[in-house]
Structure 1
Amino acid sequence: MSADHVKLVLDAKAILGEGPSWHAAQRKLYWVDIVGKTFHQFDPVTGHNEQFPVGEYVGAVVSAGANKVMLATQSGFQAYDLESRELTPLVDPESHQPGNRFNDGKCDSRGRFWAGTMEIAETEATGALYVLDNESSCRKVVDNVGVSNGIAWSLDETEMYYIDSLKKLVYAFAFDAVNGEISNARVLIDFQTEQGFPDGMTSDAEGMLWIAHWDGWQVSRWDPKTAQKLASIPVPVAKVSSCVFGGEELDTLYITTASKGIQPGQMAEQPHAGGIFAVKPGVKGTKTYGFGDN
């Protein structure tokens, strides 16, 4: 596998860029600036980036049909109309935990929205992983989560992979695609010896996992069958937050980054922190699903 060098495609200067998802029909990349309290729609062809203010922390955005997206925010799952810019609250499973917020999230092939929470202070494991089955049905599937992050599935959909960044662990679960249930959790990858923390994650067409390294200056490729690191692509920003495959052929890996916590004296070393980067890693990716897909 060969890879081009990473290229800056949007100098977004996001505080905490995260949660990228590719909309194949629109040929656009959706992503969030969690701390900036916005989500975005980026056209890689024209370079145009449209910003949608949410007014609160927003951890993930997924498509939900024509002109509509689903968000995982500080106050739970919400629907957003791209034309009217109207935000509609759906369900808040942690209304009793105002110190928490939603972080990363992703839809499975049946259109369920998986998204997890974390403590804003990032000290205790008070978060959880939830599944939004439809606009009114939400269930908790994992408890005692530190920083809920990347989610991916095996190509045959018999396994789900899930990252808790605070614990520096990548888990594997047995996955029931029909019922949207997980079981038999086990540690797949321990990041203690890796540079940085495991953050966002995606999978490629060969079934390998791509993991963003927060404070690690890279994205890395892993074999989930052997738990071996296969490759690493350097990124010119320390806080690499997530990645997703996009483009006409799903052969471009889009990478989000953050400027959060970077001191003014460090900006000269990474002037494009908070930008969106892209690379063709020599392998194609897997489809991004939307809410309600089946």
Structure 2
Amino acid sequence: MSSIKIECVVRDKCRIGESPVWEEKEGTLLYVDITGQKVCRWNPNTNNVQSVCVEAPIGSVALRKLGGYVVAMGTTFGGLNWEDQSVTTIARVDEDKPNNRFNDGKVDPEGRFFAGTMAQEIRPAVVERNQGSLFTLYPDHSVVKHFDMVDISNGLDWSLDHKTLYYIDSLSYAVDAFDYDVKTGKVSNRRHLYKLEKGEGIPDGMCIDAEGKLWVACYNGGRVIRIDPQTGKRIQTVTLPVDKTTSCCFGGKDYSDMYVTSACDGMDEELSARQPQSGGIFKITGLGVKGIPPNVYAG
């Protein structure tokens, strides 16, 4: 085994850093600060962070074929033009729930953008229950709602054969699997794949590696865990120097680095003093496994 190295590469603190996406053509890491209401882009070569401020809490961002990005912010799917920093509305959801906001999202292998909602937090990870839903924004800009009664819609990814959608509703403390019809984008046959153990924290963002194993960032758990979907067992734990780890993605040259976002919202002075890098972004090298490139929204 190569030795694992963890370093804080972005020290600009996010209130709630989330939705890391590697942008290969730019060699940059894209991510959001949900409550800071901004989309950020970090260049590892220059160590420069650019950001665009938006007008609502922003749950997720993804690459877009037309250029720019697709975002899930407030209760709106939008298109972000990086050059002029404008967001155009593509579609709205949850219009009967003004207290809701989008959370995590990801693009499927056919270029559809999946993102889920939740009630605005009372305090970190404390919400009115059952208010969220999971949606898909299709390339033609139509929206499908898959199911509701979600607490905190969170991490998503697809199996390498595209037949399974993995999904996290954080307060279920579990990673779920669905049968996935990649032709239509429909989901069915929901089941628990892995139930988090006491002390592992709250399952948050998630990504898949090139071996088909899942990596889950555990909020308040200060770790990412690797799960084998075939057996439903945890096979690896990587501990980070901050408790509030929020999401993860692979990136860098040949996708062999892992980037982990974190949060500092809701931390008291004592914890902040103990964990000064909270809200930063961490790079993990030496995992000995690679990721796969992110999908691109086709609309």
**TM-score, normalised via structure 2 length:** 0.95
* 2:50 is aligned with 1:45: no
Q: How many Å separate the matches in 2 of 1:229 and 1:136? A: 37
Is the Cα contact below 8 Å between 1:20 and 1:30 reproduced in 2? yes
Q: How many Å separate the matches in 2 of 1:203 and 1:240? A: 17
Q: Provide the aligned length of Structure 1 versus Structure 2.
A: 293
Is the Cα contact below 8 Å between 1:21 and 1:288 reproduced in 2? yes
Which residue is 1:257 aligned to? 262
Name the SS of the counterpart of 1:60 in structure 2: strand
CA shift at 1:67, angstroms? 4.2
Q: How many Å separate the matches in 2 of 1:178 and 1:287? A: 20
* 2:225 is aligned with 1:185: no
CA shift at 1:90, angstroms? 1.3
Counterpart selection for 1:148 from 140, 147, 153: 153
* 2:99 is aligned with 1:99: yes
Identity of matched residues, %:
37
Q: How many Å separate the matches in 2 of 1:287 and 1:3? A: 24
CA shift at 1:3, angstroms? 4.4
Name the SS of the counterpart of 1:268 in structure 2: helix
Is the Cα contact below 8 Å between 2:66 and 2:298 reproduced in 1? no
Is the Cα contact below 8 Å between 1:103 and 1:115 reproduced in 2? yes
Q: How many Å separate the matches in 2 of 1:110 and 1:4? A: 34
Deviations, residues 53-103 of structure 1 (Å, cap 9, x unaligned):
002100001111364111001131011111111110111111211111000
Q: How many Å separate the matches in 1 of 2:3 and 2:169? A: 28
CA shift at 1:34, angstroms? 0.1
Q: How many Å separate the matches in 1 of 2:2 and 2:190? A: 33
Deviations, residues 23-64 of structure 1 (Å, cap 9, x unaligned):
111111110000000010111121111011002100001111
CA shift at 1:225, angstroms? 0.6
Name the SS of the counterpart of 2:270 in structure 1: helix
One-letter identity of the residue aligned with 2:110: R
Task: Please list, as runs of the form range in 1=range in 2, the aligned pairs for 1:1-294 lying within 5 A after superposition.
Answer: 1-65=1-65, 67-121=67-121, 122-134=127-139, 136-280=141-285, 281-292=287-298
CA shift at 1:193, angstroms? 3.1
Deviations, residues 220-254 of structure 1 (Å, cap 9, x unaligned):
10100101111111111111000000012100000
CA shift at 1:142, angstroms? 2.1
Which sits farther off after the overlay, 18-27 or 199-208? 18-27
After the TM superposition, which parts of structure 1 deviate over 3 Å for at least 4 consecutive aligned residues? Answer: none
Is the Cα contact below 8 Å between 2:72 and 2:105 reproduced in 1? yes
**TM-score, normalised via structure 1 length:** 0.97
Deviations, residues 154-185 of structure 1 (Å, cap 9, x unaligned):
11111110000022121100011111111100
Is the Cα contact below 8 Å between 1:6 and 1:234 reproduced in 2? no
Please, what is the CA RMSD of the aligned residues? 1.3
Q: How many Å separate the matches in 2 of 1:190 and 1:4? A: 26
Name the SS of the counterpart of 2:254 in structure 1: coil
One-letter identity of the residue aligned with 2:293: K
Q: How many Å separate the matches in 1 of 2:277 and 2:147? A: 35
Which sits farther off after the overlay, 194-203 or 284-293? 284-293
Deviations, residues 177-232 of structure 1 (Å, cap 9, x unaligned):
11111110011111253521000000100000000010001011010010111111
Q: Where do 5+ consecutive residues of structure 2 fail to align?
A: 122-126
Q: How many Å separate the matches in 2 of 1:94 and 1:157? A: 28
One-letter identity of the residue aligned with 2:185: G
Q: How many Å separate the matches in 2 of 1:289 and 1:195? A: 29
Q: How many Å separate the matches in 2 of 1:164 and 1:32? A: 20
Q: How many Å separate the matches in 2 of 1:200 and 1:145? A: 15
Q: How many Å separate the matches in 1 of 2:24 and 2:298? A: 15
